[in-house]
Chains A and B, each alone.
Chain A
Amino acid sequence: MNVGRLFQMTKKDIRLVTREGFFLFMIIMPIFMSLALNAALGSVGTSAPTVGVFGESELIPLLEQEPSIHLVTADSEQGLRNNVLEGEYDAGIAFESGSPPRVLVSGKSLLNDRLTVGATLVKVYREQMGAENVVSFDTKVVGGEEYPLRIRMVPFLLIISAMVGGLILSSSLVEERELKTLNAVLVTPITPLEVVMAKTLFGLFLGLVLGTIILVLNGSLTGGLYLVLLFLILGTLFAVGLGLIGGVMMKNITDLITRMKIVGVFLWFPALVLLFPSIPQWLGKFFPTYYFVHPILAITQDGATLSDIWWEGVILLAIDVVVLLFASRVLRERMTGKTFRV
């Protein structure tokens, strides 16, 4: 294995990818979607109600520390009122020196949000006054809807980012076969294994970088970082394995894209299950990508450790081994005469 040749092959592939609109779109799309979802959804679907505040009070720093509410500062009292009326805030508190604070509650807010806001305010007031709590409130969200909508979209984006790595790899292989550039490459000192390795590493690198960007943009790169990276690598390896199989077996780019659409539905199903908690969650466990995205969500959102999710890691590793073994078999078969059948 010659590292210099692998590097030259990858450098050439990066050049080719950046000069094709379709490839660029595939890379930019998940990042753009992340930014768009952040902007559009914000706290929609979060379990914590949004409370707007205006004015100055010693209560504000205490409210900021409360995990059960999402505190936002309004520009003006009128702005606060408007946002509450429009349902942008579930509640609003206007602080005015010399007067008791005015609490505004949106008619559009949910009952559980109103209760949460009320209970939090009582708790904070008591803390500030140094009064002993008669009742202590500990907000605990139960049921499947534990993740905000924005976070529930992360599995979709993670699967996209991993698949982009796989798709770029397979497109690159298919394109080289279709244009017969592979024939020219393979009569130079580079070996077929080096060609495949260079493309695989490029796909893996791309998938990992995109996955990391998605997690960072969604504020999800928290918890056990090494564990997140481990699942990210295992998930991207699965996509890269599929990419290799597609790259060797598909006749041309059109064929590849058509098949990818079908495979895409299968791969995205677990993300769909996680997006809609009303769907029985166990259904997702029948699909390989579940073992990629669910552990990442569990680590980043629930602080799961290896002891909680090790079995999901084992299943994902087993899936990777099967896919990569199949990919290597396909590669061997198609490399009749130590070359690609083109």
Chain B
Amino acid sequence: MIIEAETLTYSYDEHLAVDHISFSVDKGEILGFLGPNGAGKTTTTKMLTGQLIPQEGWAKILGIDISSDPKKVHERIGVCFEEKNLYPRLTVRENLKFFADLFGINPDLDELLKRVDLTKWADDRAETLSKGLQQRVMFARSLINDPDILFLDEPTSGLDPISADAIRQIIVTEKRKGKTIFLTTHNMMEADKLSDRVAFINEGKIVALDTPENLKLKLGKRALKVRMRTQTGFEEETLPLDDPKTPERTKDLLKTKEVATIHTQEATLEEVFIQLTGRKLEQ
């Protein structure tokens, strides 16, 4: 296991942010860590990256106890933070070079800038960049040391759809290269698209942990949505896929009505999450 967490617990004063959570992540796996704001995602990431020492439990990263030897772990991980934390008065290139220097490495910055499509802004100060561009610099920074594990906290937050897709493409490429990715997000579409497994965290507890498919199958609502033209407009009918009467009813509709569209209506991770917690992910 590349990441192992056992009964991790952390509370801020009276508030229990992470409540005895345990999980593990395999090499080359993308684990989507989903939950609404304040669920304990960032606190968990902070404990896994050695920014906070767990008050209970332990975490091993690459087989090393993060609390006892964080610097050995830091050499081999990359962290992309949710909050923008670049040096505003340094240029994009200077920001990346400074972090490369801290790792004592000399990577090809031009190549890295090209990968995240930042070449045009390489010599612009970070403070002059838009939120989306800053996010891209932070993502590039997390790749600077060619890490074995990437901890990505909302990596596409604030990005336009094209940029977000480009970042997702890089995440997939990194996975193909055998990198392990711990992806924290509340974007269920993103988690669904990228993750091998997803963990739902709510009020500091992991409420479900499985592949997106399994979660949707186990807890989701499988249905067929039929849209029909009427004299006044359109009408819709939802047919449960697991109902034995559905095939007959579908045939019926096709024969008797002017069917405009038929779509399978798979359960989304959002719906699964709501079913499990009674809360929305965007909350």
Contact = CB atoms under 8 A, between A and B. Distances in A.
A161 to B, nearest CB: 24
Interface string B95-138: 00011011110000000000000000000000000000000001
B94 A15 contact: yes
Given A5-B102, A8-B98, A12-B98, A181 B87 contact: yes
A318 interface: no
A265 interface: no
A56 interface: no
A180 B50 CA distance: 15
A216 interface: no
A256 B70 CA distance: 31
Interface stretch (A151-159, A183-191, A200-208, A293-301): A183-191
A100 interface: no
Interface string A1-18: 000110011001001100
A132 interface: no
Interface stretch (B21-29, B74-82, B163-171): B74-82
Tell me which of A5, A16, A189, A339 has the highest count of chain B C-beta atoms within 10 A of its own C-beta.
A189
Interface residues of A, number: 25
A170 B86 CA distance: 19
B141 A184 contact: yes
A82 to B, nearest CB: 52
Contacts of B98: 8, 12
Interface of A is mostly: helix
Contacts of A187: 49-51, 74, 77, 79
Nearest to B55: A337
B102 A190 contact: yes
A184 B78 CA distance: 10
A189 B99 contact: no
Given A12-B90, A188-B74, A191-B71, A179 B85 contact: yes
A251 interface: no
Contacts of B141: 184
A339 B70 CA distance: 11
Interface of B is mostly: loop
A181 B74 CA distance: 16
A338 interface: yes
Interface in A296-342: 336-339
A180 B70 contact: no
Nearest to A4: B104
Nearest to A341: B52
Tell me which of A12, A15, A184, A337 has the highest count of chain B C-beta atoms within 10 A of its own C-beta.
A184
B88 interface: yes
A16 B89 contact: yes
A5 B75 CA distance: 13
B53 A338 contact: yes
A41 B89 CA distance: 39
B258 interface: no
Given A15-B89, A187-B79, A337 B103 contact: no
B86 A186 contact: no
A337 B99 CA distance: 22
A140 interface: no
Contacts of B53: 336-338
B235 interface: no
A183 B42 CA distance: 13
B89 A184 contact: no
A20 interface: yes
Contacts of A16: 87, 89-90
Interface in A77-130: none
Contact of A180 (B83, B89, B101): B83
A19 interface: yes
Nearest to A15: B90
Nearest to A179: B85
A337 B104 contact: no
A191 to B, nearest CB: 6
B51 A185 contact: no
Contacts of B101: 4-5, 8
Contacts of A12: 87, 90, 94, 98
Contacts of A339: 50-52
B102 A188 contact: yes
Contacts of B51: 183, 186-187, 337, 339
Nearest to B86: A181
Contacts of B74: 187-189
Contacts of B104: 4-5, 189
Interface in A1-55: 4-5, 8-9, 12, 15-16, 19-20
B85 A188 contact: no
Nearest to B85: A180
Contacts of A184: 79, 81, 85, 99, 138, 141
A319 to B, nearest CB: 34
A311 B74 CA distance: 48
Contacts of A183: 51, 81, 85
Interface string B50-71: 1111000000000000000011
B175 to A, nearest CB: 21
A181 B102 CA distance: 13
Q: Which 10 A-B pairs have the closest CB atoms?
A: A180-B85, A8-B101, A337-B53, A19-B89, A188-B102, A337-B52, A187-B79, A12-B98, A181-B85, A339-B51
8 contacts: A16-B87, A180-B83, A183-B81, A184-B138, A191-B71, A336-B53, A339-B50, A339-B52
Interface of A: 4-5, 8-9, 12, 15-16, 19-20, 179-181, 183-191, 336-339
